[in-house]
Amino acid sequence: MHRSRYTVPLPHRAPLQLGVRTLVMGVLNVTPDSFADGGRHFDLQRAIDAGLGMVRSGADIIDVGGESTRPGADPLAVEEELRRVVPVIEQLAARVAVPISIDTYKADVARAAISAGASIINDVSGLLYEPQLASVAAESRAALVLMHTRGRSKTMYSLAQYDNVRREIAGELGEAIDRAVSAGVVRDAIVVDPGLGFAKKPEHSYIALASIGDISRRLDRPVLSGPSRKSFLTAAVGERAPDDREWATAAAVTASVLFGAHIVRVHGVAAMVDVVRVADRVAEISGDSPR
């Protein structure tokens, strides 16, 4: 799979070079109700230790989130989200060299996280929930990940109706890019995410996964893929608890790389770094081989 290369600028640090190899984004949920890790990092020191461990294991980016975005989750007050994420970001930013991402759709949280040391905003709403978030990204010059979804957490599955999954995801992500650029975000700072598991039935998520390269080409933007431990994987392997979906995650991460993802977002960093390195080698040989 041919994968275009991009340089994504970051504030106060070297830009992300995307496409040379697949970058691994480690998920650091500072929540009591994460679907994937059961709230095991809902403690400042544990969260910091987990983030440091991810970096030692090879993570290229740490994605800190304070509000669960699992389907059906209730929104979190800004004050509580700030209380959860800002101390973690401050501590990690002072101790690691890799970029830190803030997983939020709230403008006030993003602004505080950037001040604390984050350099990437990861918005699961694609600027649908708080459009003013784009202004924070523009003013701070932070990179901006725009994920595809529809509706809010409690209603997204009722909106999982598609005539053409690939075309509609790319089209709606294109609209999100337009919203960001209109607010002053430079196009080079934008990464897109097809939103596996969000406002999608399992078959839609599999189509989206297989469409990563096409979405990247259509929008001329790098793609982040986040299949880790998500429930759509059970459509293939049967019902499993999130912690028991690591082998399925490994297969989806491999597919993400081979279909052209630039970044993969994962919970089990150490194992998935190995998965990505092998998949990268296969993708490199495949891309160099005569057809």
CA gap 210, 146 in Å, rounded: 19
Distance between alpha carbon 267 and the CA centroid of its chain, in Å? Answer: 11
CATH superfamily for 6-288 is: Dihydropteroate synthase-like (3.20.20.20)
> Coil, strand, or helix at residue 139?
helix
pLDDT in tens, 56-86: 999 999 999 999 877 667 789 999 999 999 9
Catalytic residue among 265, 277, 281, 291: 265
pLDDT of residue 291: 35
Average pLDDT across the chain, whole number: 93
Contact 168, 162 (CB under 8 A): yes
Phi, psi of 193 (to 5 degrees): -135, 120
Residue 24 class from Cβ within 10 Å (0-12 exposed, 13-18 middle, 19+ buried)? buried
Read off the pLDDT of each residue in 203-209 and give the average, rounded to a whole number: 98
Fill in the DSSP letter of residue 73: P
Per the annotation, the verdict on 265 as an active-site residue is: yes
Per the annotation, the verdict on 154 as an active-site residue is: no
Helix axes 44-56, 78-93, angle to 10 degrees: 50
Residue 5 class from Cβ within 10 Å (0-12 exposed, 13-18 middle, 19+ buried)? exposed
Contact 16, 26 (CB under 8 A): no
pLDDT in tens, 1-56: 679 999 999 998 999 999 999 999 999 999 875 544 445 545 889 999 999 999 99
pLDDT of residue 180: 98
CA gap 114, 189 in Å, rounded: 15
Read off the pLDDT of each residue in 139-151 and give the average, rounded to a whole number: 97
Share of the chain above pLDDT 90, in %: 88
pLDDT in tens, 153-194: 888 999 999 999 999 999 999 999 999 999 999 999 999 999
pLDDT in tens, 92-121: 999 999 999 999 999 999 999 999 999 999
Instruction: Single out the residue of 94, 4, 97, 91 nearest to residue 41, CA to CA.
Output: 91
Distance between alpha carbon 172 and the CA centroid of its chain, in Å? Answer: 17
pLDDT of residue 40: 52
Catalytic residue among 150, 166, 221, 230: 230
